[in-house]
Amino acid sequence: MDLLDAARHAREFAVADYSHFKVGAAIEAADGQVFTGCNVENATFGLTVCAERVALLKALSEGVRGFRRVAVVADTAEPTPPCGACRQLLWEFGGDLEVILGNLERETSRHCLSDLFPYPFDSRLLR
């Protein structure tokens, strides 16, 4: 299963009872392992967790610290990029990852995370 297919499959488990906007993500570790996630909503919306963060946190909680790329899938014609919070965490834990965006049928675009997040806040600013 390729990374976009893994993200599509993860999307099927999304808990999106309020927005009905289901998103799936898959992140590939440096060693080739793939971790998936889906968005999980709740009534307050503010506590919703995005698919990208779920996938990343699953990998981190298993001790993985190096990543190659992440795929994000939604049922949209246009690419659905990671939100700002996801971009921050992906940058902090993955660096300049390849970001593959897709929908239910095809890949819609590819980017370097640095193109989507050109001025990140990271540890170099905490010195």
Distance CA 16, CA 29 (A): 27
Our answer to whether residue 52 is catalytic in this structure is yes
Catalytic residue among 12, 28, 41, 52: 52
CA atoms within 13 A on the CB side of 16: 17
Do 23 and 14 form a contact (C-beta atoms < 8 A)?
yes
List the end-to-end C-alpha distance of the chain, in Å, as a whole number. 42
Residues known to be catalytic? 52
